[in-house]
Amino acid sequence: MEQLSLDIEHRSKSRIIASSGVFQVELLQHVGEDDYPQLIRISEHLSDEYGEKAVLSKATIHKYFNKPSSLPFIARYRGEIIGFIIGVAIEDLSSEPWARLDENFGEGNTLYTYAFVIMDKYLGNGYAKILKRVYLSWAKKRDGIRFITGHVKLGKSSKFTGDIKIINRVDNWQGTGFTFEYYSRDLGPKPDFTQIQNPPLAKTI
């Protein structure tokens, strides 16, 4: 029984949400230690744009990915993890001054996009768009969630679709030397669940 518990701790548990041939998006229900090294390697792609603080560690993976209030998805290509996106409750970032200043802090209605990345060699195939679309769709269906926020380079949010508002701008974000904008996306009112009780188990795209 003890060995079984150890195996569960080391193996990730996920649920396929969308698939297209050799590519699929999975909702992570638990991140096992076996996948820590690959998630850390992928997060290193974020350092040039977001600074070294954006690179995951075992501590940040455990702290955010396995938290019930988080919304983590991974992208796989031929079985290999090639990217991920994770939303965390803004209240879980209470140590950050900008988080506490958000007008919705404490309301339980906001997910902060803590990280969003696809490995460079898989960009341009539409995989990032699919991953983000799944994330936004599921965020909108989550009880109580109305807003998605995040930090992106100045001007990047102007390319986003939906109801986007720039809350503030930060010079030299995380020591990167770049100006970043903190945006909020209003997901709108909840869909009518009279006919649909849950999101589909899996969707082929």
Examine residue 35 and state whether it is found in any structural domain, yes or no: yes
Examine residue 165 and state whether it is found in any structural domain, yes or no: yes
161 Rama sector, left if φ>0, alpha if ψ -120 to 50, beta otherwise: beta
Examine residue 197 and state whether it is found in any structural domain, yes or no: no
pLDDT in tens, 168-186: 999 999 888 999 999 999 9
Examine residue 23 and state whether it is found in any structural domain, yes or no: yes
Instruction: Give every CB contact of residue 193 below 8 A, 6+ residues apart in sequence.
Output: none
CB 110, CB 145: distance < 8 Å: yes
Closest by alpha carbon to 104, among 186, 193, 202, 16?
Answer: 186
pLDDT of residue 199: 54
Examine residue 168 and state whether it is found in any structural domain, yes or no: yes
d(CA 68, CA 48): 30
- Full residue range of the structural domain in which residue 113 is found: 2-192
pTM: 0.86
Examine residue 49 and state whether it is found in any structural domain, yes or no: yes
Q: When comparing pLDDT for 201 and 36, which is higher?
A: 36
Q: Report the number of distinct structural domains present in the chain.
A: 1
Question: Strand 80-89 to strand 110-118: parallel, antiparallel, or no bridges (unpaired)?
Answer: antiparallel
Examine residue 200 and state whether it is found in any structural domain, yes or no: no
pLDDT in tens, 108-165: 999 999 999 999 999 999 999 999 999 999 999 999 999 999 999 999 999 999 999 9
CATH number of the domain enclosing 140 = 3.40.630.30
pLDDT of residue 4: 39
pLDDT in tens, 48-100: 889 888 999 999 999 999 999 999 999 999 999 999 999 999 999 999 999 99
Examine residue 97 and state whether it is found in any structural domain, yes or no: yes
